[in-house]
Amino acid sequence: MKQNIYDHPLFFEQYAALRNTGITYNDFIEQPAMKSALPVLEGLRILDLGCGTGQFATYCIENGASSVTGVDISSNMIEQANRENKHERIEYINMPIEDLELPPGQFDLIVSSLAVHYIENYDGFVEKASGLLRQEGSFILSTEHPIVTARREMNNWIHDEAGNRLHWALDDYQEEGIREQHWYIDGVIKYHRTLSTLINTLIAHGLVLEKVIEPQSIPAGLELMPGLSNERRKPSFILLKSGKK
Amino acid sequence: MKQNIYDHPLFFEQYAALRNTGITYNDFIEQPAMKSALPVLEGLRILDLGCGTGQFATYCIENGASSVTGVDISSNMIEQANRENKHERIEYINMPIEDLELPPGQFDLIVSSLAVHYIENYDGFVEKASGLLRQEGSFILSTEHPIVTARREMNNWIHDEAGNRLHWALDDYQEEGIREQHWYIDGVIKYHRTLSTLINTLIAHGLVLEKVIEPQSIPAGLELMPGLSNERRKPSFILLKSGKK
């Protein structure tokens, strides 16, 4: 079953409103970390697995990428991408990542930003990415941190009576699989995986781990959204950069 | 400052009593995982950083290791090792790991079992291990999981009024450094490091990550100490196996 929450009308409307404010969580935490991990983009053929509205594709083109292929399950996302981030060197494909069939070894860089935790078959996902990557190419994925997805009951900041955050609640760490969450709509499904699974699966598919990043907010984020300092208390995201050797 | 809690008289007495019962936490969780990660030991020259009483050194010899060098800061530990786990192919060195000076590249396998979280200079520790390892050699370290060491206040199971464990409390994740704990005696110092630091430091010193293990109890442990099922709720340890490429 391939989840497509971004095509749920209510979800997409609210998600779009959030994105349109111009300040989102990801812009200050995950995206700067992703960009810091990128190689020089000049001349690269790039695949973006879970490309959303194509902002990252445009970033790649602006930085000299030779081509960008963006894949997303959501037709809402791909429509918006074609309106807002159209370019002759960008191709958008509206398809579940799992169904993507392209000739092997044709990308210099594959990125996947915060998509993996929606995907049931992580092993198949990594196998596909590794297959599409050329020798010496780079694969960078970001996902929700296992510390965040572990506990089945998902309201994980524990507060005192005055509303102060006491600590982050962790549980069920080794119980991999579905976590159901309310995020604008009920029943958004995420998949919890341990750190071992996230990393060992990359290694099993011929990738060499090059860097782990557990990002914090950049200073601009802390100014605009002081609550982002809580990222120091528990990491929301993890980025894994690997290379095909 | 090199911490040597195992030479504190009260600590060592109580620790020895624990070890002598024959059933300890580590025997069911960390040690089986460590052994599962070992290469074939036949003919290997092995270095054990933080060798304690030499049980693992004996295990290596029994499994065909060519030689074992065990290093430990605690003279209590080394004395007991020389009494209980003496062998012509085992050499014990009573010295802080940080001070060890041996010719480079002479070991086929380096292990370090639950020592790293007592060591202030992890970067220097990894640099030393990598230097002592021959090309193609393996380095396996285990340490307390960052999930366990993160929160400054160290009593991390949160209980309800009836004494049931509600969840594990996590906090202060990005604040690396000293954690003070009562473990038999007051003021036992451990060092918290993020997962990123644990892994990226290996990579920075020329090691390629081969496997991450977040061990759970083996079945025999669950029978003898049913509380070990809590390892499924939060991991106590993490093992990192790497190779020099």
Q: Distance from first CA to last CA of chain A, Å, rounded?
A: 32
Tokens of B84: 């209980």
CB B210 within 8 A of CB B115: no
Q: Which among A241, A214, A152, A163 is positioned nearest to A189, based on CA atoms?
A: A152
Q: What is the pLDDT of residue B85?
A: 97
Contacts of A119 (CB under 8 A, 6+ apart): A97, A98, A125, A191
Residue A74 CA to residue A96 CA, distance in Å, equals 8
Candidate from A151, A214, A231 with C-beta closest to B167? A151
Under an 8 A CB cutoff, do A200 and B214 touch? no
Tokens of B86: 């003496």
- pLDDT interval class at B224 (50, 70, 90): confident
Tokens of B237: 């340890």
Identify the structural domains of chain B with CATH numbers, from first to last.
Answer: 5-131+140-244 (3.40.50.150)
The minimum CA-CA distance between B69 and chain A, rounded to whole Å, is 30
Q: How many helices (H) and strands (E) does chain B have?
A: 9, 11
Among residues of chain A, what percentage have pLDDT more than 90? 81
Residue B166 CA to residue B159 CA, distance in Å, equals 5
Tokens of A27: 């812009």
Contact residues, chain A to chain B, C-beta under 8 Å = 147, 151, 158, 166-175, 194-196, 199-200, 203, 208-214, 216, 231-235, 238
Residue A210 CA to residue A138 CA, distance in Å, equals 9
Q: What is the pLDDT of residue B48?
A: 98
Tokens of B190: 């451990």
Q: Which among A146, A180, A142, A140 is positioned nearest to A3, based on CA atoms?
A: A180
Match 């780079």 to its residue by tokens.
Answer: A138
Three-state secondary-structure class, residue B68? strand
- pLDDT interval class at B131 (50, 70, 90): very high
- On the 0-12 / 13-18 / 19+ scale of CB atoms within 10 A, A53 is buried
Contacts of B201 (CB under 8 A, 6+ apart): B122, B123, B126
Under an 8 A CB cutoff, do B168 and A169 touch? yes
CB contacts, 8 Å: B171 with chain A: 167-168, 233-234
Of A55-64, A218-227, A228-237, least confident by mean pLDDT is A218-227
User: In this predicted model, what pLDDT tens digit does every residue of A2-43 receive, in sequence order?
Assistant: 777 777 766 666 666 666 555 677 889 999 999 999 999 999
- pLDDT interval class at B159 (50, 70, 90): very high
Tokens of A182: 């309310």
By C-alpha distance, the chain A residue nearest B241 is A200
**pLDDT of A1 over the 60 cut:** no
Q: How many helices (H) and strands (E) does chain A have?
A: 9, 11
Q: Is the ipTM of this complex over 0.85?
A: yes
Candidate from A167, A174, A210 with C-beta closest to B169? A167
Under an 8 A CB cutoff, do B212 and A199 touch? yes
User: In this predicted model, what pLDDT tens digit does every residue of B100-116 receive, in sequence order?
Assistant: 999 999 999 999 999 99
Contacts of A78 (CB under 8 A, 6+ apart): A51, A70, A72, A92, A93, A94
CB A195 within 8 A of CB B196: no
Candidate from A173, A208, A216 with C-beta closest to B174? A216
- β-pairing, A157-159 vs B45-49, is unpaired
Q: What is the pLDDT of residue B155?
A: 77
Under an 8 A CB cutoff, do B196 and A209 touch? no
Helices (H), chain B: 9-20, 25-28, 30-37, 55-62, 75-84, 122-132, 146-149, 195-204, 219-224
CB B4 within 8 A of CB B118: no
User: In this predicted model, what pLDDT tens digit does every residue of A177-229 receive, in sequence order?
Assistant: 999 877 666 778 999 999 999 999 999 999 999 999 999 999 989 988 889 99
Q: What is the pLDDT of residue A26?
A: 83
Q: What is the pLDDT of residue B4?
A: 77
Contact residues, chain B to chain A, C-beta under 8 Å = 147, 151, 158, 166-175, 194-196, 199-200, 203, 208-214, 216, 231-235, 238
Residue A88 CA to residue B38 CA, distance in Å, equals 52
